[in-house]
Structures are given as C-alpha cells and as structure tokens.
Amino acid sequence: MRVLDAHLHLWDPDLLTYPWLEGALDWTFAETELIEEQISGVHEEAAIFVQADPIEDQAIDEVRWVDSIALATGVVAIVAGARLDRGAGTEAALEALGRHERVIGVRHLLQGEPDGFARSEAFVAGARAVAARGWTFDACVRAEQISDVAALAAAVPDLPIVLDHLGKPAVGTAQAPLRPSAEWLRDLSELARHPQVFCKLSGLPAESGGAWTAAQVEPFLDAAAEAFGEHRLMWGSDWPVSSVDVTASDGGEYLAGARDGWFRTVVEWAQKRGLDTEQVFWSNALAFYGIR
C-alpha cells in the first residue's frame, strides 16, 4: 500500500518562533522525530507539509527550512503560510513563495479569525490571487465557520479548496463521545456541493484530546464519505498535533505511535465501507495538489 500523508507538520522552536506552542508540543518535531513515527507495513510513504504557524514574517524562513529537510522527511510538497487579506502585501508574499518549487498551495489559518472573515472583500481578492497561480487553499476552520468556506468556494470557483480536519466538529472524548451535530452535517453537505472542494480525514484525534476510539470517530468519517465521495477524500495524520494527549498532567503527553494508530483506524474504516484506499490514501491528494 502507498500512503501520502496530506497533513504533516514539522517545526523547530530553536529555529523559528511559534507563539502557540505549549506543553508536550513545545519541542522539536523534525526528521529525527519523524523516523520514529513512520507508518508500518506500507511500501511507499510521502508527505505534504502544511505550515505550522510561526510568526508571520517567518513564512519564507519556514519554507526554506522545510525545503532543507524535505528529502529526509519525505516531503514532496509544501502548503505555505500566507495571509490573504493584505492586498499588495499578499501579492508580494505569494510572489516570494512562488520562487520555491515545492510550494503548491497556501494556508491562511482561519480558525482564529472572526466568523465571516473569509467572506471579506480583501480575503476573497487574496484567494483569487492564489487561484490565478494555479495553487490550492487549505481551509482550517472551526465547525461554525464551514459555511464561510462554502461562500468562499462560491466566490472563487476556480480555487481548489480542501477542508482540514473535517471542519473540526465536536467529537467529545473516548469516554464521552458525541454524535455529529445537525448543524455540522448540514454545513458539510452544503460545502461538498462545490466540486472543487475536498476534505481531509485528519485532526479528529486532536479534537478528542489526543485519545479516541474507532466507534467514536466513524460516524464523522461516514458523514464525510457520504458528502464528498471517495474521490474527494484524503488522509492526513496531523502529526504531531494529533499525537498529544492534552488531558494528561503538566501540559499534555506525547503519544508515541499515535500517527500509525490513526492511519490504522482510517484504513480499517475505509476497508469496511468498501472505499478505494488507493484514492483516499494516495491518488486523491496527488491530484488535488497537482503533484506529478
């Protein structure tokens, strides 16, 4: 089996500044650490790096650093950080990112922005600039912002968009799981009506606090499959964010093997549902990100 991890993070706090890091995540996660987290039993593995949100003026530095370790980490493409609401500043940032061959898309982290931000004139203009370059956009939003992504898809129909982490639905915990909410199901289905939008099967372990059960997450995976179909789903590990138990004492505990565990959970679910695992774990991400 071949696996393209469509959502891998790497960072080094000694090289770049990440204001959001704390607890067990406030550590270096790079080539050495990833070696310990290789997925077992697959004959080919690669990854797409997704920006790890260093301070804004380090976006290019992050790309340069990931480029320098790409061969060691299996990174074949980079989703770089870029603010899309800066007008001429956005155009300049995209131009600078475009000098790096592995950059194939961008992410402006929307989950921390006000609701409706992705509908603003400035943001939509930036999104159109991304589309004009033939790049993709990763939409990392809170569940209540999924409708904003649908509005963006309608405003910029030539921009390939992928919804990170299924839109971060409330999944509860392994001990107290939640069912998919009617609002999330509605907004997910509405978003999926836009044919250029894909969905990443990623991030649910982090939404569950780091520990999860298959029974807990499968209703959410089922909803994504029903809405998007197997041809618009891609698997991502969200490593190392989804490998930390935030319920542990002293700021969380890193869970060795959690990346492989999430992979096994989604593979077994996909096989039970009769989905094409070659598409979900390999070719869909290649096609979406335009990787040859």
Q: Residue 104 in contact with residue 130, Cβ under 8 Å?
A: no
Torsion of CA 241, 7, 3, 69, to 10 degrees: -90
Give me the residue label for tokens 């493409």: 77
- Please state, in angstroms and rounded to a whole number, the distance separating the CA atoms of residues 239 and 48: 11
Q: What are the φ/ψ torsions at residue 226 (nearest 5 degrees)?
A: -65, -40
- Its domain, for residue 254, covers 2-289
* Residue 185 three-state SS: helix
For residue 215, the domain's CATH number is 3.20.20.140
Q: What are the φ/ψ torsions at residue 253 (nearest 5 degrees)?
A: -135, 130
Q: What is the pLDDT along the chain (292 residues), one digit of tens a residue?
A: 999 999 999 999 999 999 999 999 999 999 999 999 999 999 999 999 999 999 999 999 999 999 999 999 999 999 999 999 999 999 999 999 999 999 999 999 999 999 999 999 999 999 999 999 999 999 999 999 999 999 999 999 999 999 999 999 999 999 999 999 999 999 999 999 999 999 999 999 999 999 999 999 999 999 999 999 999 999 999 999 999 999 876 778 999 999 999 999 999 999 999 999 999 999 999 999 999 8
- Please state, in angstroms and rounded to a whole number, the distance separating the CA atoms of residues 104 and 3: 19
Nearest Cα residue to 223 out of 265, 176, 268, 191 = 191
Give me the helix-helix angle, 214-228 and 258-272, nearest 10°. Answer: 60
Give the count of domains, the chain: 1
Give me the residue label for tokens 């919804």: 163
Provide the pLDDT for residue 249.
67
- Please state, in angstroms and rounded to a whole number, the distance separating the CA atoms of residues 21 and 25: 6
* Residue 81 three-state SS: strand
* Residue 76 three-state SS: strand
Q: Residue 13 in contact with residue 27, Cβ under 8 Å?
A: yes
- Please state, in angstroms and rounded to a whole number, the distance separating the CA atoms of residues 82 and 272: 39
Nearest Cα residue to 63 out of 31, 110, 97 = 97
